[in-house]
């Protein structure tokens, strides 16, 4: 499964996690709780998608479990160690053919529209 997390396209195979994640374990967890977890993670590590790949993949997998229509998430922390409430998040659904062609610049420009054209 492909998932765009910030500017990185992650190829997620839950069988590769060091400790397996079973979707049924997270049934009671809401999407809002997963988003809050993501904000906490990015407040602690603003480049999580690059520096802590397994944690990033686990977060993406949880988002996908809770909202299967979402395959892209953006978490922007204004500074390292900021409060989780300061982290801005956005979500999208990106066509798989597009997802396979994204790099950091095109993800920012085409999906998140953060760079000037």
- pLDDT tens, residue by residue, 46-79: 999 999 999 999 999 999 999 999 999 999 999 9
Enumerate the domain spans of the chain. 2-112
Mean pLDDT across the chain: 92
By C-alpha distance, which of 115, 56, 113 is closest to 90? Answer: 113
**How does DSSP classify residue 28?**
T
For 7-19, write each residue's pLDDT tens digit: 999 999 988 887 7
pTM (two decimals): 0.91
Give the CA count within 13 Å in the CB-facing half-sphere of 99: 19
User: Residue 116: is its pLDDT beyond 60?
Assistant: no
């Amino acid at each position: 499964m492909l998932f765009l997390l910030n500017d990185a396209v992650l190829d997620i195979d839950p069988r590769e996690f060091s400790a397996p994640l079973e979707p049924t374990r997270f049934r009671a967890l809401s999407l809002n709780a997963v988003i809050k977890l993501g904000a906490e993670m990015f407040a602690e590590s603003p480049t999580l998608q690059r520096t802590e790949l397994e944690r990033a993949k686990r977060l993406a997998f949880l988002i996908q479990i809770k909202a299967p229509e979402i395959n892209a998430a953006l978490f922007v922390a204004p500074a390292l160690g900021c409060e989780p409430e300061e982290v801005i998040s956005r979500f999208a659904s990106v066509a798989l053919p597009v997802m396979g062609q994204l790099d950091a610049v095109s993800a920012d420009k085409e999906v998140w529209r953060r760079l000037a054209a």
